[in-house]
Amino acid sequence: MASSDRASKKPLDIVVKMGLGVFVGSFALIWGGMYLTKPDRSIPPYTVGAQLGSLVAVHVPRDTPDEQVEKLLHRFRRVGHTTRDFGPMKIYPTTPGNPGGRYRSMTVLVFSDEGWAESTVLERYKRGDEETVKAVQGAMRGYYRLEGEEEEGAIGSLLRNGGSFEGARILFKGLVTDPLPVETESAERGISLSPL
């Protein structure tokens, strides 16, 4: 009886131990990778459609509510106030070589239809083609504008002359050196999907 107990309590073979270690380690690696690369759910998914110098066209999914577009514009604002590096937000430097910074001047137009964020439309808009300007203003969901130390963000359209706004609701306007409101920072955190 003693010899049969020893036979049943035989230690695991080294190959089995290594296999179990690889199995458990691969699940830990997959979970860790998923956690570290999880998408930012505090802002809507967006794509930079085209960029012509300091003019950037971005599109969000069609069913994105205005509240989510506001969160995206507030994220641009927060980056403008903190690092002023919009590279992680998929925007190429708008003023490369400028001693004042790579993003001294920038206008981001937000659309729900990716057709408005194409480079051909953006070129006609920048040229001032009246028909295109009116159509773009009607299709625009919001904008973020940064000129030196001044910034502005709104839901609605931006008129070509930049002086007056029709159908736009100004979210913020001021200097990037002004302190950010507390509610803007806390509202941008969003809901974490992490179990930790």
Render pLDDT for 74-133 as a digit per residue (tens, 0 to 9): 999 999 999 999 999 999 999 888 888 899 999 999 999 889 999 999 999 999 888 988
More confident site: 51 or 193:
51
More confident site: 165 or 55:
55
Question: How much is the average pLDDT of 167-196?
Answer: 67
40-49 tens-digit pLDDT: 678 888 999 9
What is the predicted pLDDT for the residue at 4?
Answer: 57
Interatomic CA distance for residues 168 and 159, integer angstroms: 10
More confident site: 191 or 88:
88
Interatomic CA distance for residues 81 and 98, integer angstroms: 18
2-53 tens-digit pLDDT: 555 555 778 888 888 899 899 999 988 888 888 777 666 788 889 999 999 9
Residue recorded with tokens 């790579």 = 102
Domain borders along the chain are 2-36, 47-187
The CB-side HSE value for 38 (13 A sphere, CA atoms) comes to: 14
What is the predicted pLDDT for the residue at 188?
Answer: 45
More confident site: 191 or 84:
84
What is the predicted pLDDT for the residue at 134?
Answer: 86
List the strands of the sheet with 47-52, edge to edge. Answer: 47-52, 55-59, 105-111, 140-147, 150-155, 169-175
What is the predicted pLDDT for the residue at 164?
Answer: 47
Residue 151, SS3? strand
pLDDT bucket at 193, cuts 50 / 70 / 90: very low
Among 161, 172, 158, 171, which residue's Cα sits nearest to residue 110?
158
What's the whole-number average pLDDT of the chain?
83
